[in-house]
Structure formats: structure tokens, C-alpha cells
């Protein structure tokens, strides 16, 4: 069937070529498959080179110079590994990396736990589960700029609903509940907002994992009199694990470069308490205009994310192969 179909296609193609005016047909006939393939993908490759690859190599070049974008007329000097050495020995940069690590770790832990729990509940298909699924998904559909702004109001000590809710439960006066102005609470304020916004995303991926587990496996386990607890740990978790790991990978990469929400909520403050790496990078690049140094910082971040993601993907593949 397939062979005859192919023959038919070839006949049709030959007919089309014959019907094409001679000079054009000759030109098309003169192109090899490989040439036609290149013709089709060339625009994409040119765009990719212009938008992704060239800036990357340009940033690598700049990272070895003292170039400053705000001094276009200044002489650009090669500083060798000076920018890298300065970055890797700068305690402020390390502090921002620690802040980023704290943020990434806790958001991933909370989002995975809550997201999986929600997916598990939704997967029970109780009455009205479709409505609840839609409701839960709303936060991730909002713009981070909107989320950042309205949570800033929610956290307001004097007028914010969050402060009122905490005050109602704990009895602490609202004026003492300063989520964004308190050094100890500000990092958690951002973690709460990110968890609120992105847990539904983790839930969706986990839900896909749970729904991919065939029912007959559970039926077989029940025949073997396996308890629900045993079924959960021996069937549900291992089979959903690749999906959970995928969600962790996506959220990890996203949160490693988190900028907008932190910028809107705290601007990196109080002090430098919530100054994650991307905020520090933005300040260096577009406020201090240290273009060369910030390029080096960007390359360090890129290598860190790329390296960690690669290690993680290898682990993910191993889990999938089990």
C-alpha cells in the first residue's frame, strides 16, 4: 500500500515538473534534496545565528574586555581573565548566588510537594474536579508583572490582606507584619508568591504523569493485595518520577534566572537580602554599565545553568530507562 502510494506521489511530482515552464523546471530539477532542505531551514538558521549565537559569542568576546556601553568612544582594552577573576572573588556576587540557590531550592521543594499533592487529588476525579482544576490553574495564566504588583499590595502592612489574615490568626498587630521590609521575611515573601503562581504548572505536569500510568497495573496490585500506601510508593511515585523530574528541571531553570517578580516585589531589598543573581547582573550591566564585567558574569551563570541542567538531564534519562 505504502509502495504504491509512493509511486503515485512520484508520478504526481513528475507531472507537476512537466507542467512547470521549462527554465524553472530545470532549476528545480538541478537542486539536490540536501540543497532544498538547506533552502528551507536557512532562514531559521540565519535568525538563530543573528539572535542567539552571535550575541553569545559577542558576549564571550566582551567578557575579556573593559568595554562599557555608556562610553562608546573609549578605547576597549583586553583584560584577559580579569573580569572572571573579579567576579569569582567578589563576595557580593557569591552572596547573590547564595540568595538564588535559597530561592531555587525552596521554591522547587514547595512547588513539587504541593503540585504533586494537588495532581494526586485532581486525579481522583471527584465531583467538580474540572472546575477546581481550572481554578487552580488561574495564577499561572497571569503576567508576572501583574502578580508582582498585586502581591506587593497584599503584603502592605497597613492595608494588605495578607497582613490582616496573619494578624487575624496570630494576633500580631498588622503594622508589625512587614513581609517585604523585613530581612528575614522578604526572601520567604518571594518564595510564597512564586509558589502560589507556579505550583499549578508543576501540578499539570504531574497530572500528565499520573494519567499515563495504566489502570491494569493498579488492578494487578490489588489482586496481589497491595495496600494503597504500597501502591503509592511502588507504582505511582516511580512511574510519575520522570514527569516530576521534568517539572523540577523546568522550574529550576526558570527560577535560576528569576528577575521580574523579585524586581517588582522587593527590587532586591531590603539591603541586598533578595538580590538574586539576575538582579545583580542587571545592576552591573545596565546601572553600573560595566558591560565587560557583566558579560563575564552572564557567561558564568550560563555555564552554571547549562552544566547543572546537563547533569540533571542525564539523571532524568537514567530514571526513564529503569
Partner 1 sequence: MLKTWRPLLGAAVVCGSLGGALAVPQAAQAEQLTLCWAAWDPANALVELSKDFTAKTKIDMKFEFVPWTSYADRFLNELNSQGKLCDLIIGDSQWVGGSAENGHYVKLNDFFAKEGIKMDDFVPATVVGYSEWPKNTPNYWALPAMGDVVGWTYRKDWFEKPELQKEFKAKYGWDLAAPKTYDQLKQIAEFFQKRQIDGKTVYGASIYTERGSEGITMGVTNVLYDWGFMYENPKKPYEMQGYVNSPDAVKGLEFYKSLYDCCTPPGASNVYMVESADAFKSGQVAMQMNFAFTWPGLYKDEKVGGNRIGFFPNPAEKYHFAQLGGQGISVVSYSDKKGAALQYIKWFAQPDVQAKWWQLGGFSCLKAVVDAPGFKTSQPYAPAFLESMAIVKDFWAEPSYAELLQAMQKRVHDYVIAGKGTAKEALDGLVKDWTEVFKDDGKI
Give the footprint of partner 1 on this chain (CB under 8 A).
66, 69-73, 92, 155-158, 174-176, 178, 180-181, 183, 263, 266-273, 283, 286-290
Q: All 3 cell numbers of residue 275?
A: 538580590
Contact of 302 with 311, CB cutoff 8 Å:
no
Query: Is the omega angle on the peptide bond into residue 270 within 30 degrees of 0, that is, cis?
Result: yes
CB of 186 to partner 1, least distance (A): 9
CB of 288 to partner 1, least distance (A): 4
What are 268-275's contacts with CB under 8 Å, separation 24+?
269/180, 269/186, 270/180, 270/181, 270/182, 270/183, 270/186, 271/183, 272/92, 272/95, 272/96, 272/99, 273/99, 273/183, 273/186, 273/187, 274/99, 274/103, 274/186, 274/187, 274/190, 275/95, 275/96, 275/99
CB of 271 to partner 1, least distance (A): 3
CB of 255 to partner 1, least distance (A): 21
Beta bridge partners of 65: 78
CB of 101 to partner 1, least distance (A): 19
Q: Of the two residues 27 and 71, which places its CB atom closer to partner 1 in the complex? A: 71
| Phi, psi for 69 (deg, rounded to 5) | -65, -20
Q: Of the two residues 110 and 280, which places its CB atom closer to partner 1 in the complex? A: 280
Classify 68 as helix, strand or coil. coil
Residues 6+ apart with CB under 8 A from 246: 205, 316
CB of 64 to partner 1, least distance (A): 16
Distance of alpha carbon 210 from alpha carbon 239, whole angstroms? 8
CB of 139 to partner 1, least distance (A): 24
CB of 179 to partner 1, least distance (A): 9
Q: Of 283, 260, 256, nearest to 151 (Cα)?
A: 260
Contact of 117 with 257, CB cutoff 8 Å:
no
CB of 304 to partner 1, least distance (A): 23
Q: Of the two residues 257 and 282, which places its CB atom closer to partner 1 in the complex? A: 282
Classify 78 as helix, strand or coil. strand
Q: Of 270, 273, 275, 244, nearest to 258 (Cα)?
A: 275
Q: All 3 cell numbers of residue 111?
A: 512547588
Q: Of the two residues 17 and 74, which places its CB atom closer to partner 1 in the complex? A: 74
Amino acid at each position: 500500500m505504502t509502495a504504491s502510494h509512493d509511486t503515485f506521489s512520484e508520478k504526481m511530482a513528475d507531472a507537476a515538473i512537466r507542467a512547470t515552464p521549462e527554465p524553472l523546471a530545470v532549476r528545480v530539477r538541478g537542486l539536490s534534496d540536501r540543497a532544498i532542505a538547506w533552502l528551507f531551514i536557512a532562514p531559521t538558521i540565519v535568525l538563530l545565528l543573528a539572535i542567539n549565537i552571535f550575541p553569545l559569542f559577542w558576549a564571550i568576546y566582551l567578557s575579556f574586555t573593559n568595554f562599557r556601553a555608556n562610553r562608546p568612544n573609549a578605547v576597549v582594552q583586553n583584560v584577559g581573565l580579569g573580569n572572571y577573576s573579579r567576579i569569582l572573588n567578589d563576595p557580593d556576587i557569591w552572596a547573590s548566588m547564595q540568595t538564588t540557590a535559597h530561592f531555587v531550592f525552596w521554591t522547587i521543594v514547595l512547588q513539587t510537594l504541593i503540585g504533586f499533592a494537588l495532581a494526586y487529588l485532581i486525579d481522583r476525579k471527584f465531583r467538580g474536579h474540572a472546575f477546581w482544576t481550572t481554578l487552580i490553574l488561574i495564577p499561572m495564566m497571569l503576567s508576572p508583572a501583574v502578580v508582582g504588583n498585586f502581591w506587593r499590595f497584599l503584603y502592605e502592612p497597613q492595608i494588605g490582606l495578607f497582613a490582616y489574615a496573619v494578624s487575624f490568626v496570630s494576633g500580631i498587630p498588622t503594622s508589625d507584619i512587614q513581609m517585604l521590609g523585613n530581612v528575614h521575611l522578604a526572601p520567604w515573601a518571594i518564595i510564597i508568591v512564586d509558589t502560589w503562581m507556579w505550583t499549578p504548572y508543576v501540578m499539570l505536569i504531574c497530572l500528565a504523569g499520573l494519567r499515563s500510568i495504566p489502570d491494569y497495573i493498579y488492578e494487578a496490585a490489588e489482586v496481589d493485595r497491595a495496600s494503597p500506601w504500597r501502591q503509592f510508593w511502588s507504582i505511582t511515585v516511580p512511574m510519575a518520577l520522570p514527569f516530576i523530574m521534568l517539572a523540577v528541571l523546568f522550574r529550576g531553570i526558570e527560577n535560576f534566572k528569576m528577575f521580574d517578580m523579585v524586581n517588582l516585589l522587593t527590587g532586591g531589598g531590603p539591603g541586598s537580602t533578595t538580590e538574586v543573581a539576575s538582579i545583580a547582573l542587571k545592576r552591573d550591566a545596565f546601572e553600573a554599565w560595566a558591560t565587560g564585567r557583566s558579560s563575564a558574569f552572564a557567561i558564568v551563570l550560563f555555564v552554571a545553568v547549562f552544566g547543572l541542567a546537563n547533569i540533571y538531564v542525564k539523571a532524568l534519562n537514567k530514571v526513564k530507562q529503569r
